[in-house]
């Protein structure tokens, strides 16, 4: 009788130890299977803070939004570069003057906000980073999510508890201490695109590429200097200010050019003042001639007027884009 009791106690104790099973082969297989599936996904949608959604393909193309300065900032990653359309407050926080930040806030810019999410969230890169952040020694806990979905949580990485194994979401801190500054603090949701959704993703990417225009290049500075100007006027009251400009790149800006903006104030006694301008894109470290014209309404009396011009030129680096190549890469990857 005593032997039976001892045997019964051993069996009960063994069952209690096996029930949690959070570090057993099943949980490890689920995590490994989910990361293996993520690694080979052609495209993934990431749910970020504030309702932002970022779509990233297996080869690093990206389209969507990032949560920056309390706003959803559109981004595109193409040709290995990240293009961002952030609010002026974001650029001011980077140290820009209010006027320059307002210009940047009104258009796209080639920039990397702390980390390049298009590279970091490429499915294979992300799977490798999560694998390193959740080693075999980490114990997984079985949980039930909203909607009744069974999941395993290993140090902030959540995967489905039953096949097909897939990554559900993860804590940004698993990717490094500075990642939350770009991606936000809330958990990042992960959803793989179905093949039937690839055409819509490609269309969204192509439309974003079409909207890029001539993006600024954040970081380097272009210094522009007026080296001379000539003002010529006709008897009909038309005046043209011709300005010589030299520009110099301070910093590095590969695959980029200088965008020059001329603003000239032309004034005359008794005729008032008028402004004119011109914009053009030119190579870095080059001399350029710019010009603009005004037309004065002349009085019906004879006489002469002294006319003068005060030109000013500002400059910014702008990216040289090949939208057709960007779209071709998307077509090759997404069909």
Pairing of the two strands 43-47 and 256-268? unpaired
Q: Assess whether 208 and 224 both reside in one domain.
A: no
| Residue 9 located in a structural domain | no
pTM greater than 0.95 = no
| Residue 11 located in a structural domain | no
Q: Report cis status (omega within 30 of 0) of the bond before 46.
A: no
Q: Three-state DSSP class for 66?
A: strand
Tokens representing 256 are: 């980029």
Contact 281, 264 (CB under 8 A): no
Q: Assess whether 231 and 162 both reside in one domain.
A: no
How many whole angstroms separate alpha carbon 8 and alpha carbon 18?
A: 16
pLDDT recorded at residue 301: 67
Q: Assess whether 208 and 241 both reside in one domain.
A: no
Contact 137, 22 (CB under 8 A): no
What one-character-per-residue DSSP string does 119-182 give?
A: HHTSHHHHHHHHHHHS-TTSPPEEEE-TTS-EEEEETTEEEESSSSP-EEEE-GGGG-TTTHHH
- Check which CATH number belongs to the domain holding 109 and give it: 2.50.20
Domain end point (choices 215, 241, 261):
215
Phi, psi dihedrals of residue 48, rounded to the nearest 5°: -110, -175
Q: Three-state DSSP class for 22?
A: coil
Q: Assess whether 159 and 307 both reside in one domain.
A: no
- Check which CATH number belongs to the domain holding 249 and give it: 2.60.40
Q: Assess whether 224 and 245 both reside in one domain.
A: yes
| Residue 15 located in a structural domain | no
Q: Three-state DSSP class for 41?
A: coil
Domain end point (choices 215, 245, 263):
215
Phi, psi dihedrals of residue 97, rounded to the nearest 5°: -70, 160
Tokens representing 148 are: 């009744």
Partners of 261 in beta bridges: 279, 314
Reported as half-sphere exposure (CB side, CA atoms, 13 A), residue 66 has a value of: 29
Q: Assess whether 298 and 166 both reside in one domain.
A: no
Domain end point (choices 215, 250, 270):
215
| Residue 262 located in a structural domain | yes
How many whole angstroms separate alpha carbon 95 and alpha carbon 213?
A: 24
∠ CA(93), CA(96), CA(100), 5° rounding? 125
Q: How many domains does the chain have?
A: 2
pLDDT recorded at residue 8: 30
Residue 97: give the domain boundaries.
25-215
Name the stretches of the chain with pLDDT < 50: 1-24
Q: Assess whether 111 and 257 both reside in one domain.
A: no
| Residue 329 located in a structural domain | no
pLDDT recorded at residue 316: 98
């Amino acid at each position: 009788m005593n032997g039976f009791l001892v045997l019964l106690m051993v069996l009960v104790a063994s069952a209690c130890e096996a029930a949690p099973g959070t570090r057993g082969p099943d949980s490890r297989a689920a995590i490994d299977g989910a990361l293996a599936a993520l690694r080979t996904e052609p495209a993934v949608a990431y749910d970020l803070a504030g309702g932002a959604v970022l779509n990233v393909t297996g080869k690093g193309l990206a389209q969507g939004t990032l949560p920056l300065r309390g706003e959803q900032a559109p981004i595109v990653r193409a040709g290995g570069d990240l293009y961002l359309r952030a609010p002026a407050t974001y650029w001011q926080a980077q140290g820009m003057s209010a006027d320059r930040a307002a210009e940047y806030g009104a258009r796209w810019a080639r920039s990397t906000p702390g980390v390049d999410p298009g590279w970091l969230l490429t499915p294979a890169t992300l799977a490798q980073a999560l694998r390193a952040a959740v080693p075999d020694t980490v114990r997984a806990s079985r949980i039930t999510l909203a909607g009744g979905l069974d999941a395993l949580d290993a140090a902030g990485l959540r995967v489905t508890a039953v096949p097909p194994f897939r990554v559900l979401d993860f804590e940004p801190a698993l990717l490094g201490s500075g990642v939350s500054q770009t991606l936000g603090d809330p958990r990042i949701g992960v959803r793989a695109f179905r093949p039937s959704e690839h055409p819509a993703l490609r269309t969204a990417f192509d439309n974003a590429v079409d909207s890029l225009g001539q993006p600024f290049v954040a970081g380097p500075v272009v210094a522009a200097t007026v080296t001379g100007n000539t003002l010529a006027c006709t008897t009909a009251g038309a005046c043209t200010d011709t300005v010589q400009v030299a520009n110099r790149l301070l910093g590095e800006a590969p695959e980029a050019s200088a965008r020059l903006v001329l603003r000239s104030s032309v004034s005359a006694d008794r005729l008032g003042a008028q402004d004119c301008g011109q914009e053009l894109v030119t190579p870095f470290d080059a001399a350029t001639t710019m010009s603009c014209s005004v037309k004065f309404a002349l009085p019906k009396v004879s006489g002469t007027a002294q006319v003068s011009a005060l030109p000013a030129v500002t400059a910014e680096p702008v990216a040289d884009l090949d939208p057709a190549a960007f779209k071709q890469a998307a077509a090759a990857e997404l069909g």
